A and B are shown apart, each in its own frame.
Chain A
Amino acid sequence: MSDKFQFSRRDVLSHGGNIVAAGTLFSLLPTLASAAKTVTVGFIYVGPRQDFGWNQSHWDAARKVAKIKGIKVVEQENVPETAEVEKVMQSMIELDGAKVIFGTSFGYWKSIKKMAKKYPNVLFTHIGAIWKSGDPKNVIGYRGYTEEPHYLCGIAAGRMSKTGKIGFIGSKPLYFIYNNCNGFVLGARSIRPDLTCNVVLTGEWNNPVKEAETTNSLIDKGCDVIIANVDSPKVSVETCERRGVFSCGYHSDLSSLAPKGFLTGAEWNWASGAEFVRAFTTGKPYPNLKRGGFKDDMVGLSPFGAAVPQKVRDEILSAKQGFVDDKLKIYQGPLKDNKGNEILKAGQVISNTDIKFKLGVRFFVEGVAG
């Protein structure tokens, strides 16, 4: 009955946006020059931004980006990976005048490509680094090599473990979970070659009861350093603290949750995306695909916990420098997987930026039980 008079939210947004834009052009001409100096950047999160995890790592980036002069940040949390995210992008672009959109969840990819075609003057970033030629030019995929900070966590674990058993909690069997786990174990075994690591996959990104249960069963098994690769390692880190074992963080800084047992943690540095904003707004060239580790300042290391002695800190920091100088490699031969198959011969070295190798990692290295 009233269908004729109903506008969809999108229509209202887009027409409303046009009217606002037209209004701005005609009535605010004198202020236009100054308005052009401020660039609005939109951050879209899939969950709550203060989750001590994945979303917080992006919120950290948003706060860093917001400090850059001439940049204003708008944010929206809990945006599902559906058509909903397109509406959010549209409203950020049309109503807030956003020039750059950070889509911080893997499942936003299709929506990002769609909206990038619709708004060629807006830059979109995506965290999957799966851009390929043919995709819109105003899209950037970037992602850090978190296996490098995991290797450093492994060094801490190797030095601090008393039982010689460490634990890794993964979510799903994906290439970066394998790489992170391998980095963690190789780092630990570089210190203590007889060390073993128990791996448990929960099968879900976010299930606090299961994560707590998994952490408990790893501790019962004798593991005394645990790292959790789930959306929010908060539950796992807190459980470790309660049971009196060491923990490492992932995604963002979790040191405040475990003042006694926290060692260090593997972090992202999504704020490295600020360089794209600068390049895009000044008309300079930018890459469509960027992956990097410590060398490119795309990953980070959490502050050390009080339990970590200075000697170990120095050792970890010098290993970090090794990544920065590209001298330390994660995968080098001789290397076997945990079923005894040879992966690399003695002398064979995989470059830290060999993405083809890393994307194909479907094995756990020797020392991993399970």
Chain B
Amino acid sequence: MTDGGDLGWWGVLIAVMGGAIRVSTPYLFVSLGETLTEKGGRVNLGLEGILVMGAMSGYGTAVVTGEPWLGVIVAGCAGSALALLHGLICNLTRVNDIAVGISLFIFGTGLAFFLGKPFINPSAPRLPHLELGAWSSYPQVRSALEINALFIIGVVLAFVLAWGLKNMKWGLILRTVGDSTEAATALGYNVNWVRTMGTVAGGFLSGVGGSFLSLYYPGTWNEGLSSGQGLMAVALVIFARWNPIYCFYVSLLFGGATALGPALQTVGITSNYYLYGAAPYFLTLGLLIYSSSTKHSLAGAPGEVSISR
């Protein structure tokens, strides 16, 4: 049982694990970005638009220059630029960040579709991956453990952000601003500036998340590339309780749920595949209902974020 061997139910488990790692990276980056944004006291619902823009610009850069890592950086910068727009508009008084986010979502996707037209056909070089499964004789295991460097960066980043938000000066400032405008103003911080920077940093990470979609997995650019990962990530942040490390776990959960349907169908469980496809969304709804209960408070929710005000 080596090449092409049938692993049965173990195969399902390995496929779900591999899928979790492959599919979760965009969720991870976007949710980390949104955590930063929301910790500063704003919600950026435009992340879906930023993600798609990042995917397009990253792919386009890689096609033109032949250098996928440059594509990742350009994707991040494109994401920051869109997020800066969000941040600057929200700095105006009495502007609703949710409404700005939604218009940014539509603007970002529309702009990406428009600019991305010439890149639908050409193939871009792919980001390299690490073969962590070379020890195994099972091709299934080897393929599940082909891990992209961005995933590892994302995991490290989750821990760095978690530590930084607690212990670093920028983390404390960001959280102060996010928890109480008055307190932050009294301490002499420029609230709008901090929030804008939080949004821009979040936009950078979301753009990078988008470039993972187009440059690694599934590794193509077309107009249906994102199936709502950017929007899901906003919900993901809420039940990750604004904790970067939880963001990592929840991203894995979402990725695994996406992989479950196809994996079950290959072992012959074919009924209800629409339900498996909807599994992540059921999870979202269930967890949202759970976390909105009045019995337990949303620990970690920034006080100034409009959804907790």
Which 5 A/B pairs are nearest by Cβ-Cβ distance? A212-B218, A222-B4, A206-B224, A214-B262, A220-B140
Residue from the list B6, B120, B217 in contact with A221, Cβ < 8 A:
B6
Q: Which of A99-154 contact B (CB under 8 A)?
A: none
B220 interfacial by beta-carbon distance below 8 Å? yes
How would residues 107 to 135 of chain B score, 1 for a CB under 8 Å from any chain A CB and 0 otherwise? 00000010001001101001000000000
A-B contact count (CB 8 A): 129
Residue from the list B14, B140, B258 in contact with A213, Cβ < 8 A:
B258
A209 interfacial by beta-carbon distance below 8 Å? yes
Nearest CB in chain B: distance from A253 CB, A: 12
Nearest CB in chain B: distance from A190 CB, A: 22
Q: List chain B residues, Cβ under 8 A from A320.
A: none
Interface size on B, residues (CB 8 A): 47
| In contact, B227 and A207 (Cβ under 8 angstroms) | yes
| In contact, A208 and B139 (Cβ under 8 angstroms) | no
Residue from the list B3, B7, B144, B277 in contact with A210, Cβ < 8 A:
B277
| In contact, B143 and A234 (Cβ under 8 angstroms) | no
| In contact, A198 and B266 (Cβ under 8 angstroms) | yes
Q: What are 20 contact pairs spanning A and B, CB under 8 A?
A: A48-B120, A51-B120, A199-B265, A199-B270, A201-B265, A206-B222, A208-B224, A209-B227, A209-B229, A210-B262, A213-B23, A213-B258, A217-B19, A217-B259, A217-B266, A222-B5, A234-B220, A234-B222, A238-B123, A370-B268
Further pairs besides A165-B4, A206-B222, A235-B218: 12, Cβ < 8 Å: A201-B270, A201-B273, A208-B222, A209-B227, A210-B258, A214-B265, A216-B22, A216-B143, A217-B266, A220-B18, A222-B4, A370-B270
Q: A50 to B227: give the CA distance in the assembly, Å.
A: 20
Nearest CB in chain A: distance from B142 CB, A: 10
Q: A221 to B213: give the CA distance in the assembly, Å.
A: 24
Q: A198 to B6: give the CA distance in the assembly, Å.
A: 12
Considering the complex, give the chain B residue whose CB is closest to the CB of A235: B218
Query: Which A residues form the contact surface with B (CB < 8 A)?
Result: 47-48, 50-52, 78, 162-163, 165, 198-204, 206-214, 216-222, 224, 231-232, 234-235, 238-239, 242-243, 257, 369-370
| In contact, A220 and B143 (Cβ under 8 angstroms) | yes
Nearest CB in chain A: distance from B86 CB, A: 25
| In contact, A78 and B274 (Cβ under 8 angstroms) | no
| In contact, B220 and A216 (Cβ under 8 angstroms) | no
B263 interfacial by beta-carbon distance below 8 Å? yes
Q: A243 to B142: give the CA distance in the assembly, Å.
A: 11
Nearest CB in chain A: distance from B63 CB, A: 13
B98 interfacial by beta-carbon distance below 8 Å? no
Q: List chain A residues, Cβ under 8 A from B88.
A: none
Q: List chain A residues, Cβ under 8 A from B266.
A: 198, 200, 217-218, 220-221, 370
Q: List chain B residues, Cβ under 8 A from A210.
A: 227, 258, 261-262, 277
B15 interfacial by beta-carbon distance below 8 Å? yes
B171 interfacial by beta-carbon distance below 8 Å? no
| In contact, A163 and B4 (Cβ under 8 angstroms) | yes
Residue from the list A207, A208, A220, A239 in contact with B11, Cβ < 8 A:
A220
| In contact, B14 and A220 (Cβ under 8 angstroms) | yes
Residue from the list B6, B14, B120 in contact with A222, Cβ < 8 A:
B6
Q: A213 to B256: give the CA distance in the assembly, Å.
A: 11
| In contact, B259 and A232 (Cβ under 8 angstroms) | no
How would residues 201 to 225 of chain B score, 1 for a CB under 8 Å from any chain A CB and 0 otherwise? 0000000000001000111101111
Nearest CB in chain A: distance from B291 CB, A: 26
| In contact, B6 and A47 (Cβ under 8 angstroms) | no
Most chain A beta carbons < 10 A, residue from B15, B22, B144, B266: B266
Q: A208 to B220: give the CA distance in the assembly, Å.
A: 8
| In contact, B213 and A209 (Cβ under 8 angstroms) | yes
Considering the complex, give the chain A residue whose CB is closest to the CB of B227: A207
Residue from the list B15, B140, B220, B277 in contact with A238, Cβ < 8 A:
B220
Q: List chain A residues, Cβ under 8 A from B120.
A: 48, 50-51
Q: List chain B residues, Cβ under 8 A from A220.
A: 7, 11, 14-15, 18, 139-140, 143-144, 266
| In contact, A209 and B217 (Cβ under 8 angstroms) | yes
Residue from the list A50, A51, A213 in contact with B19, Cβ < 8 A:
A213
